[in-house]
Structure 1
Amino acid sequence: MRKFVRQSTVFACLAAGLGAAGMAQATNGYFSHGYGTTSKGLAGAGVALSQDSLAAATNPAGMVTLGDRIDFGVALFSPRREYSVGEFPGAPDPAQDFALEPGSYKSGSEYFLIPHFGWNRMLDDRSSIGISIYGNGGMNTDYPAHSNPIRNAGGECPSGTFCAGKTGVDLMQLFIAPTYARKINDTASWGVTPIIAYQRFEAKGLRSFADMSRDSGSLSNEGHDDSWGYGLRLGIQGEVSPGVRLGAAYQTKMYMGKFDDYSGLFAEKGGFDIPANMTVGLAWDVTPTSTLFFDIQHIWYSDVKSIGNKFDRQGLGMCAQGFDSSGCLGESGGSGFGWRDMTIYKLGYQWTTSPDWTWRLGYSYGRQPIPSSEVLFNILAPAVIEHHLTFGFTRNIGPSNEFNFAAMYAPESKVSGDNAMFEGQKIELKMHQFEVEASYAWKF
């Protein structure tokens, strides 16, 4: 009883702390490259072999193989975001064109602390319950209210990326994932995770698009709004031959409440569901002390209209002139970020050098989701990262504790294209990232 009370108290405190923390991991779109420190050391691979109690975020079937344990950790994440704008190709027409001020501009807010928590308990030798708490994010930018000397000649553009002051967005998503997992036999298992999701959003500096919105009072600078929603993750995992394990997991679309304060920005009157995703992979013991991991993950960003709708200059123009409201920001067909789906390939290698030390390396690649035609709005969310290089280790501390560490470097990726509101003016988005994460596990 005392142990249960102690664990419950720890869980309550950590859940409160996680709920208050901002998430900002724009690595694969706005999904993290991995969940749990051991998986992050392998570039996010691990759907076929689970190693900590954040496993439910990747494959809930693996929870039953972990035993009784608690994992708590924190990451220091640093995304470096920047956009550059080319010179005017000609004199813009103020009635039709929205030229941006030439130059290069960096986003602030470069460091984020991101905690996570996991708990797993065996009910008997064939089943377990657990809970994992983790986050997504990444549509997070903070551009200063820089001057616009050329466009301000007529007094219509005092400052900021879009002539409306300090510009940026802030998105945080928190997932609470209780899990039930059960062994099918001695070599295979299944798991189910009903997910409760919370998200919070804020946008600044977009009031210049007011006449292109269905509701200009719910477009920008409305502070933080939040919503709750739900979804489901299902997974299977098993050894198909000695030393070869396969795994697969599918997460449904997360059906989220609307951001009412931003119903004039996001399609479907503030809709912002979280896209479905699926991962399949293998873990192969190439030697008695080493394992090769390979996962393939697919994320259906295009199925969420506020994310997948393309920028529609004609529809916005018709809206501004009062001819047709169907293309207004906030309507079902209104412009979004234009993201395409992502497929990510994750390769990891793990080896043990002694009973106390395990080492990990990883690499992942996924074509970034932003087409060159969609760079204008994606100044707000320049999620262009494609490559991840990772390193990690586990240090066992006696029979009941372990320390885990992972580091990630995402080299600079970029995309460039025309300003959709002023053809011929080039915009380039680029980003690179660093992350270090440490966690501690208690086995009981």
Structure 2
Amino acid sequence: MSHFQRLVLIVLGALGLAGPASATNVFRLEGYGAVSRAMGGTSAAHDTGSAALLANPATLGLGSGGSRLDLGIDLVTTSHLEIENAATGETARSGHRDVASAYYAPQAGYVRRSGALTWGVGAYAGGGLGTEYGKNSFLSRTPGGIDTGLENSSRLLVLHIPLGMSYQVDDRLTVGGAIEAQWTGMNLGLLLGADQVASLIGRNRARGSLVPALAGIPGLEGAHFSFSRSSDVESGADAWGWGGRLGLTYRLSESTRIGAAYGFRSHMDDLEGKARLTAVSSVAGQIALPGRIRIVDFQMPSTLTVGIAHQATENLLLAADVSHVGWKKVMKDIKVRYAADGGGELAVELPQNYRDVTILSLGAAYRIDRWTLRAGASIANQAIPDNTLFGVIPATPTRHLSAGFSYDFGRSNTLDFAYSHALRESLGNASEPNVSSGAPIRSTHAQDNFVLSYTHRF
């Protein structure tokens, strides 16, 4: 990581970044900014402030003239996240340990409008996930009953730094676009039982010179991957890349506007960092092999969103969006490459086979004097097949309810708040290689999301 890139992350940390946001719609937040989040994630055809840079940049032109500065924080709390061993009834609950169960993400944006042209720049967390099951649950126990004391946890953060603009072509049509730097950071602690290792080898999903070395360890009970950093800003494996999106809005009438936006698949370098592979043996104990890890071609998906906003009355705004997210092309496998410091390599491909997701989002906003009250909901299909679920990657919520408000202190200053609740979702998996044959699992996940932001216009 260069000194400049490190400086960027430190500055963002000063803005309030203390960890990643837990997964909502897979690894993506269900809406960007307090306005969109409170209105069910809708954003295609109404003003969402600088958060438009991550949704539909054409809507940058819907704001008032002059400049605006948005500063805020996104807080996600996992109100219920546990993995149940369906065979024994044991549970592993994600909680406050090395990776906290409450996650913070920054929001910052500046937008300037001058005539038909509006431009903006920002820094937003686009999503991620976070789990912490500790070292003493059944997830840290081998099929043979050895309590390894090894961590099972995950932390993923995707950070967007966009620069975008919109241009009002005429009194009906506005077009826009944004290009952005992206940073992805990942921490992981994952124990694979010997039966999972054997399944990966048998399916040609584990290859390399370390395979016969692992297979030859007497009494092999499992293998544990670990790469993490305690810093809230940096991660065990990370990379930079870029992405972008295009959008437009079209005014059908004085009260109705439609919008559309397309976000391109990310172009990230492979995530790299220091790691440790630990072989667990009933004969030799734990054998640690420090080295370096690479997560190959870990990308965020393309998105296509179309929507409509209708000013039903002077005070009431209604909005609806439909989004298609292309998870199938980017999450077929998690591809891991490991090189031990003492020599030897290992290539592992963990099957995921995610489905594409279609999301329906609905929202409403009602203006009363200085207050604007908002509410919304969204629903999506399940991306994760029930035979590829990992306990440390429970990106399962599909249904959200939301509410929020804005309060104008005057023409120049506004406080925005949003609350979003991911309804409880359960998903099971009894299939190797992602679970041990001795421990079919069921994930149950619900969470709460709070957004607080402040806008100053000048």
* Mapped contact 1:61–1:237 kept (Cα < 8 A): yes
426 and 288 in structure 1: CA distance in 2 versus 1, 3 angstrom threshold? same
1:247-266 equivalences under 5 Å are 247-261=259-273
Q: Partners of 1:397 and 1:23 in 2: how far apart?
A: 31
The 2-side partners of 1:12 and 1:269 are apart by: 21
Gaps of at least 5 residues in structure 1 are 1-10, 88-100, 312-324
How far, CA to CA, are the matches of 2:399 and 2:117 in structure 1?
A: 37
**Deviation digits for residues 150-180 of structure 1, max 9, x if unmatched?**
97695x63236xxxx1112111111000012
Deviation at 1:269, TM superposition (A): 5.5
Q: Distance in 2 between matches of 1:340 and 1:153?
A: 30
**Partner SS state of residue 40, structure 1:** helix
SS in 2 for 1:295: strand
Assess, with a 3 A threshold, how the Cα gap between structure 1 residues 175 and 105 changes in structure 2: closer, same or farther. same
1:84 is paired with a residue whose SS is: strand
Q: Contact 1:19/1:174 (CA < 8 Å) preserved in 2?
A: no
2:446 corresponds, among 423, 432, 440, to 432
**Contact 2:268 / 2:299 at 8 angstroms: preserved in 1?**
yes
Q: Distance in 2 between matches of 1:295 and 1:388?
A: 14
Aligned to 1:40: 37
Paired residue for 2:342? none
Which amino acid in structure 1 is aligned with residue 414 of structure 2?
E
In 2, Cα distance between the equivalents of 1:113 and 1:225?
20
- The percent identity for this pair of structures is 27
Q: Which has the higher helix share?
A: 1
1:195 is displaced (CA, Å) by 1.3
Query: Following TM superposition, by how much is the alpha carbon of 1:408 offset from its aligned partner in structure 2, in angstroms?
Result: 1.1
CA deviation after TM superposition for structure 1 residue 329, in Å? 4.9
Q: Provide closer, same or farther for how the CA distance between residues 389 and 274 of structure 1 changes in structure 2, counting only shifts above 3 A.
A: same
What is the rounded CA distance, in whole Å, between the counterparts of 1:52 and 1:85 in structure 2? 45
Q: For 2:296 and 2:142, how far apart are their aligned partners in 1?
A: 32
Corresponding residue for residue 274 of structure 1: 300
Asked if the contact 1:25/1:136 (under 8 Å) is kept, the reply is no
CA–CA distance in structure 2, aligned partners of residues 183 and 24 of structure 1: 34
Aligned counterpart, 2:226: 221
Q: 1:107 aligns with which of 94, 100, 121?
A: 94
Q: Counterpart in 1 of 2:288?
A: none
How far 1:137 moved relative to its partner? 3.2
How many equivalent pairs are there?
392
1:181-211 alpha-carbon deviations (Å, 9 max, x no partner): 1111123211110111001111113365677
TM norm structure 2: 0.78
- Whole-angstrom CA distance in 2 between matches of 1:287 and 1:299: 32
Say whether residues 1:61 and 2:51 are aligned partners: no
Conserved in 2, the CA contact under 8 Å of 1:134 and 1:175?
yes
RMSD: 3.2
Equivalent in 380, 383, 392 of residue 366 of structure 1:
380
Distance 1:15 1:427 in 2: 37
Structure whose residues are more often strand by fraction:
2
Deviation at 1:136, TM superposition (A): 2.8
User: What amino acid is the match of 1:348?
Assistant: G
Residues 195 and 113 of structure 1: CA distance in aligned 2, closer, same or farther (over 3 Å): same
Query: For 2:36 and 2:420, how far apart are their aligned partners in 1?
Result: 11
* Partner secondary structure for residue 69 of structure 2: strand
In 1: Cα distance, 2:197 partner to 2:456 partner: 53
Q: Rate the CA distance shift 1:57–1:151 in 2: closer, same or farther, 3 A.
A: closer
Q: Which TM-score applies when normalising by structure 1?
A: 0.80
* Structure 1 equivalent of residue 119 of structure 2: 129
Q: How does 1:18-29 map to 2 (within 5 A)?
A: 18=15, 21-29=18-26
1:268–1:259: structure 2 CA closer, same or farther, 3 Å change rule?
closer
Tell me which amino acid in the other structure corresponds to 2:180.
I
- CA offsets, 1:296-345, max 9 Å, x none? 111111111xx22399xxxxxxxxxxxxx9xx854xxx223332111111
* 1:32 to partner: Cα distance: 0.3
Letter in 2 for 1:157: I
d(CA) in 1 for partners of 2:318, 2:275: 46
CA positional deviation for 1:127: 0.1
Alignment counterpart, residue 332 of structure 2, candidates 305, 308, 311? 308
